[in-house]
Amino acid sequence: MSYTEYFEKAREQQLGELQEWLSIPSISALSEHKKDINQAAEWLAAKLTAAGLENVEIIPTKGHPLVYADHLHAPGKPTILVYGHYDVQPVDPLHLWETPPFEPSIRDGKLYARGATDDKGQVFLHIKAVEAILKQEGKLPLNIKFCIEGEEEVSSPNLLEFLHTGAERLAADAVLVSDTSLIEKGKPAICTGLRGLCSLEVAIHTANTDLHSGSFGGGVPNALHALVSLLATLHDDKGRVSVEGFYDDVAPLSAEMKAEFAKQGFNESKLQQDLGLNSLYGEEGFSFVERVGARPTLELNGVYGGFQGEGTKTVIPKEAHAKITCRLVANQNPQDILDKIERHLRAHVQAGATLDIQQGEKANAFNIDPSHAFLQAAADAFEKVYGVRALFTKDGGSIPIVETFSRILSAPVVLMGFGLPDENLHAPNEHFNLENFDKGLLTIVEFLKSV
């Protein structure tokens, strides 16, 4: 029986199993769902066992458990570590869901539920692909390990600790992750870069109390004015970050990567229209996909202070605040960037104002050469199933654990996703297109049989 026939025959049962898993509200960020998290881990362990995996174990952590499994009976063959997560985002606002988020439903060729595409649906593909090979052929063509966590949506604090202490157990020749997207329907992609991240909060203080603008206006510093003028120094009029040394470690885009970006055929005019904008904006000299995938940024995420109630209050505020994040690219060090931004802010603060800065989260960027043999094998597998060779892209988002896997395990990470950008991950009405459910199973089988 061909794999196409196998999966067609098993489809109804497999979708039913996936809907069981999706019905478990494994929300890692909310403590009241601790029981659900454990139930989702137990469900996963049972399915890994049923699929033919061995050494299946639910590993306790200080938070939510990891689920491990392996099948290591191919001496001399590569070992692949499959990583994913079974935790999901909160569902608010609930009233915007067309059907309840934990009552999975299929309509118009799409499976709707929280976690359908991020990441239960995509993890499920790997379990069923391995199960299919074992049932069809009685053995695997390589060695495989699974490490599925329950805290990805809360920054993987305990997986990081496990990686540092249990790296030998997870050792592999490559890490395989399906938690990303195709470019669009029928147009597969393999992500070769994820931006890093750093954040800080800024507070400006002036007088020891808010002041009447009639009595003091024009004669004392205004915290809001000081903050606005300070923030304006962070960029020039061409969209570049003005912080000294910000771009020192940013490598220029290679001709090959520029060509891959161009192949996407991204329609900037359509994006502008869809967003209701009269113009896009960003660093001069780069296309939209280059700006959001391969260039670093500094963004204001929140600016607040002074009177914000109804009507007018003629006050000179004593303090003002801003939240800032940066997306970083390969070779940029998050701590170095935070220190440079802090030096810039302290050097440009207005006279009469004092500055408090709190540095926050830090995550390294991930980057991999698309010519690597494992990535080329993944592109070949996509082409066999989709009829179109996968493009190599860079994603503007951050998945910090990917860089950590790559660094600690000294292994390439293959980001081989089957979602679509419009599947509402993290939003109401999250869904997974079943075309990619079907093709994803076949693609993973092709990949595992070819490396």
Tokens representing 116 are 């359908």
Beta bridge partners of 415: 177, 191
Q: Residues 169-215: pLDDT tens digits?
A: 999 999 999 999 999 999 999 999 999 999 999 999 999 999 999 99
Q: Are 431 and 112 in contact (CB under 8 A)?
A: yes
The more confident residue out of 338 and 155 is 338
Q: Count the helices and strands in the chain (H runs, E runs).
A: 14, 18
CB-CB contact of 332 with 368 (8 Å)? no
Between CA 345 and CA 322 the distance in angstroms is 12
Lowest mean pLDDT among 146-155, 310-319, 392-401, 417-426: 392-401
Looking at residue 166, its pLDDT comes to 86
Give the contacts of 250 (CB within 8 A, at least 6 positions apart). Answer: 295, 296, 329, 331, 332
Query: Using CA atoms, how far apart are residues 149 and 179, in angstroms rounded to an integer?
Result: 13
Spatial neighbors of 39 by CB under 8 A, at least 6 apart, are: 24, 26
- The dihedral of CA 28, 33, 38, 42: what is its sign? negative
Q: What is the pTM of this model?
A: 0.88
pLDDT band at residue 399 under the 50/70/90 scheme: confident
CA distance 440 to 316: 59
**Are 373 and 80 a contacting pair, CB within 8 Å?**
no
- Nearest in space to 444 (alpha carbons), one of 380, 401, 399: 380
Distance (Å, whole) CA 50 – CA 124: 13
Residue 397 confidence (pLDDT):
84
Largest Cα–Cα distance in the chain? 87
Predicted confidence at residue 429, as pLDDT, reads 98
